[in-house]
Copies of this chain bind each other. A is one copy, B any other.
């Protein structure tokens, strides 16, 4: 089952609706569920109950994509980004002058908590953020968590994953690089936009895409202005999503409404190429560029880089402690 979150294109009330997605390509239609349905709650219900509700939705008229505005499928209670693609780590490390993948990478899947308030819809424009000359994208698979879990095994984690979608973790590389020199990871370099969508596909639709170890193995690709610049397979993740949930839940919590992302696949960002090439080739994104990401079975998200918007001034530099000590 494919489930989208949307509102009417001319709906001034901005009420969010959930819809069943039927058809392919130009024939996609979104069939609204009754108002009041929440996507995460719907995914947490039994397949039988969800099917019965979907039958009702399917019997009604469907809406064409040009009649509606697709929204982010979920507004996450938290988002985590993992680092699961070995070849991406290798490329990024070489860009930093390191010999390749650090030994620690193999031991356990590290993650960071992302800015949770910056999700954007699958076809929304993304404004050029302030302070950057090196805007980049990151092609990732994302899983939607629909149950609260703590200390679960990978087997137990399976029922906590309600579905999957495509994710673009937009990144201002120059801002991020400077921030990461302080060792806490990126902050403003990644907090302006994260695109998820176009809708959520439930795991039962993807059972035939699992490999012998149970890893989802889906073709992933990204185009800039219609030209393919990266491609990989989700089967190249070092850990399965069930393992990621288990790890995150160890002596802690993973909660319903969280989004857990794979991290960037190999060649799924410009920065990895910059690292390998030793130059800004292909060039950083510019206003007007169109970034299109497709994952087999999950669909396509497509976003245009919009003009820079007006922002408040940057904060002043740090007040120095030496000033205080000198006056003491």
Q: Please list the residues of chain A having a beta carbon within 8 angstroms of any beta carbon in chain B.
A: 77-78, 80-81, 83-84, 86-87, 89, 96, 102, 104-118, 127, 129-130, 151-154, 178-188, 191-192, 213, 215, 235-239, 243-244, 246-255, 309-321, 324
Tell me, rounded to whole Å, the shortest Cβ–Cβ distance linking A68 to chain B.
24
Cα A167 to Cα B313 in complex, Å, equals 29
List chain B residues, Cβ under 8 A from A78: 78, 113, 115-117
- By Cβ-Cβ distance, the 10 closest A-B pairs, closest first, are A238-B318, A185-B185, A113-B113, A117-B253, A86-B321, A112-B184, A184-B185, A191-B252, A247-B315, A243-B315
Contact A115 B252 (CB under 8 A): yes
List chain B residues, Cβ under 8 A from A183: 96, 180, 183, 185
Cα A224 to Cα B247 in complex, Å, equals 31
Contacts A118-B252, A130-B250 given; indicate if A112 touches B185 (C-beta within 8 A).
yes
Closest to A90 in B: B321
Closest to A151 in B: B312
Contacts A78-B117, A184-B83, A252-B118 given; indicate if A315 touches B112 (C-beta within 8 A).
no
Cα A328 to Cα B191 in complex, Å, equals 38
Known A-B contacts: A118-B253, A191-B252, A237-B319. Give 5 more (CB < 8 A). A78-B115, A83-B182, A107-B317, A117-B255, A239-B319
Contacts A113-B115, A312-B152 given; indicate if A106 touches B251 (C-beta within 8 A).
no
Closest to A152 in B: B312
List chain B residues, Cβ under 8 A from A250: 130, 188, 311-312, 314
Tell me, rounded to whole Å, the shortest Cβ–Cβ distance linking A186 to chain B.
8
Contact A104 B179 (CB under 8 A): yes
List chain B residues, Cβ under 8 A from A154: 315
List chain B residues, Cβ under 8 A from A182: 83, 89, 102, 104-105, 110
Contacts A115-B113, A182-B83 given; indicate if A188 touches B108 (C-beta within 8 A).
yes
Contact A213 B107 (CB under 8 A): no
Tell me, rounded to whole Å, the shortest Cβ–Cβ distance linking A85 to chain B.
8
List chain B residues, Cβ under 8 A from A87: 321
Closest to A215 in B: B319
Contacts A117-B255, A312-B249 given; indicate if A107 touches B184 (C-beta within 8 A).
no
Tell me, rounded to whole Å, the shortest Cβ–Cβ distance linking A65 to chain B.
27
Cα A112 to Cα B310 in complex, Å, equals 24
Cα A285 to Cα B251 in complex, Å, equals 18
Closest to A78 in B: B116
Contact B251 A187 (CB under 8 A): no
Cα A96 to Cα B181 in complex, Å, equals 13
List chain B residues, Cβ under 8 A from A243: 315-316
Closest to A98 in B: B183
Contact B320 A187 (CB under 8 A): no
Cα A238 to Cα B315 in complex, Å, equals 11
List chain B residues, Cβ under 8 A from A191: 248, 251-252
List chain B residues, Cβ under 8 A from A248: 187, 191
Contact A213 B117 (CB under 8 A): no
Closest to A308 in B: B251
